[in-house]
Structure 1
Amino acid sequence: MARDGQFQGRWWPILLSLPQLLLIFLFFYWPVVIGLKWSFFLERPFGGSAEFVGLANFQRLFQDTEFYAAAGRSLVFMLTASAATVLFSFVLAVAADRKLRLSGFARNVLFWPQALAGASAGVVLSYLFNPATGVFSWLNTLSPGLWNPVLDGFDANILLNIAYMWGRIPIDFAILLAGLQAIPESYHQAAAVDGAGPWRRLLDLQLPLLTPQIFLCIVIEFNESFNQAFKLIESMTHGGPGNSTNQLVYKIFVDGFRGYDLSGSSTQSLILMLLFIFIVVAQFALLERRVNYAR
């Protein structure tokens, strides 16, 4: 006789999981298989038979200097945006955990950006940080050209980082705050008895016990920096100015859907997937050993 909450028979769990498994297969694994096939063929965008070209697409890709430049921009954005997001989320979580003034109000406000789609947020922030009419337009009055993401690639990348952080901080903030509040109060009391001040408790007590949540946030942000970059670039910079924000995920879209180079974009997608797998494996190999799961 089955207990409450258990399925009778082994096929029911499999049957109930089939719709989700089917969606995963259709929208992830099957496109990967098609992309792998296209990377070895010359696909014609307007129909016609495909021509097998072997490794010619890879050879052409590795001779493309813009591919390396776009990959470099993607890695730089991944590192800067992820690090800044986790750092600011940590600072805000510590402030909320210590119940500083207005921390309760800030906790609610921080989740509002999650109600706005990434592309919509990109459009709003583009107007908000417009060099002529935005909140920082006064900088150009003091020093013409000091802030101009429309023409300056460095400013445009700063704007992308701000937009990314604006949308991602709420998630990391919630994860880190939950981790801080899970630390038993007796630990804080024992540290205070030993004479540890707030900063010492933060560095020697809270930070080591928070490493699982920090590691989780880093893994999530490295992943999301690739996913969210396309929405922000398409809605804010379109890869400009002068290709300064043309990251690999956006280059794949432009080459495939505007340049009709289906084989080339499929090859780049395959390389991007392998690069991402390598990054995830490296994260677990290098960072997880520093994580303290014991409490």
Structure 2
Amino acid sequence: FARKQTVAPKVLDVNDTVAGMLKILRRLIGEDIDLLWMPGAGLWPVKIDPSQIDQILANLCVNARDAIDGVGKVTIETENMAFDAAYCAVHPGVTLGEYVMLAVSDDGCGMPKEVLDHLFEPFFTTKEVGMGTGLGLATVYGIVKQNEGFISVYSEPERGTTLKIYLPRFAGEVVESIAASALETPKGSGETVLLVEDDGVILNVGQAILEGLGYRVLTAVTPGEALRQAEAHAAEIELLITDVVMPEMNGRDLSKLIRDIKPGLKCLFTSGYTANVIAHRGVLDEGVHFLQKPFSVKDMGFKVREVLESE
């Protein structure tokens, strides 16, 4: 279905293209919704038809607008991302290489898993008749595939949605390979980590990564289970890694309760939402350690050491 339109790809800076669309996007989403633009620094070039970026942005912003009832916020951000073989092994659908990420987040109604599974199907829509065709995301998917990119979606009912589009870095001039930047990932030396994550798959991946890096891992799927683990193993736990957004209790509140059991415990928060979005919702305080999902072995390795060695 990802039909090919006649396109005129050119090498461009996605930040410039987004900046040029902001006025139109603000008009599209209306005045009750704030549009936040957070461009990443030193963005790599990509080769794509600029009108396709416009189409992606328009579609994603309209979807974000429709998810928000009344007032709300839509955030657009960009960032360079590199995925290595280890990362691709545990994240199906991700291709090895260097990408420019374009993320559009909203703080709207979010989506349950059964909707996420059909998200990119043509004509699949949750909108009422007359409210939209459901072609928007299928169009976005077609454009991204045509440009050899991929998409990841993170959403929870009532918490909002983040759609991340990854477009391959344009490698016209000699690009430093990922190998060159592959600083040795720091390893642990048997420290005990309590990992809290309500998604079973991500929990297993996180546990595998941490154990591979030399940490001892205790896991919990719910905040309640995490508290039981903390009480049973208070003496040896040196680090709490917790998802920020969970059904029973958010990660910040959980970390406070666990710190009552073990004062001064180091904490690392993770989320599929971006750090900017999390900070704006006030779910996390300034200056806390944060790791965005999905994360690579390298991200996790460096971040965990950074937190363990922090004052």
What TM-score do you get using the length of structure 2 for normalisation? 0.22
Larger RCO: 1 or 2 (CA < 8 Å, sep 6+):
1
Larger Rg: 1
What TM-score do you get using the length of structure 1 for normalisation? 0.22
The structure richer in helix per residue is 1
